[in-house]
């Protein structure tokens, strides 16, 4: 069952107000999860902007907040919506992790090595606690 359509930012800069996750169909027609999704998209948008300006710590922090909003969807009928929101947020975190890994091998390696280690551990823990590892 396809619930959501993910719009991938393929290197292109996205507008602040552009939704990152779009609700295509939902058992409650979004009446339960739309609020959460709006908040998630707002946070992901900020995270995206921070990533472009290489403020990775802030970017990850905003995504962590978004994850908490997804976790807040407790209604059974929107369990699939919540799972997909989480999956998208975690894959965005993976992208930041990969970017940091690259940076930690480059010219500014000493600056990014510690961040990369911290983010790796954090993302692994977040996945594990949600049985997504
Ligand atoms: Zn829903």
Question: How many angstroms does the Cα of residue 88 sit away from the middle of ligand 1?
Answer: 15
Q: Which one, of 86, 92, 55, lies nearest residue 70 by Cα?
A: 86
Percent of the chain with pLDDT over 90: 70
How far does the centroid of ligand 1 lie from the alpha carbon of residue 28, in Å? 6
Check pLDDT > 80 for residue 18. no
- What are residue 50's phi and psi, to 5 degrees? -65, -35
Query: Read out DSSP for 100-119?
Result: HHHHTTSTTHHHHHHHHHHH
133 pLDDT band, cuts 50/70/90, is low
- The torsion angles phi and psi of 70, rounded to 5 degrees, stand at -65, -40
pLDDT at 1: 39
**Distance between Cα 32 and ligand 1 center (Å):** 6
Residue ranges of domains in the chain: 4-129
Q: In angstroms, what is the span from residue 127 Cα to ligand 1's centroid?
A: 21
Q: How confident is the model at residue 132 (pLDDT cuts 50, 70, 90)?
A: low
Closest CA to 52 of 13, 103, 97: 13
Report whether pLDDT(17) > 50: no
Q: How far is the CA of 27 from the centre of ligand 1 (A)?
A: 6
């Amino acid at each position: 069952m396809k619930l959501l359509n993910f719009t991938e930012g393929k290197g292109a800069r996205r507008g602040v107000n552009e939704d990152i996750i779009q609700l295509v169909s939902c058992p409650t027609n979004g009446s339960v999860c739309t609020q959460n999704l709006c908040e998630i998209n707002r946070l992901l948008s900020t995270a995206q902007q921070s990533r472009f300006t290489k403020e990775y710590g802030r970017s990850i922090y905003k995504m962590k907040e978004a994850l908490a909003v997804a976790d807040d969807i407790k209604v059974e009928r929107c369990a699939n919506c919540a799972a997909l929101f989480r999956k998208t947020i975690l894959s965005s975190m993976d992208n930041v992790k990969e970017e940091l890994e690259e940076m930690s091998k480059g010219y500014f390696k000493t600056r990014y090595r510690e961040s990369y280690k911290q983010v790796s551990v954090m993302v692994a823990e977040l996945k594990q606690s949600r049985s997504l590892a």
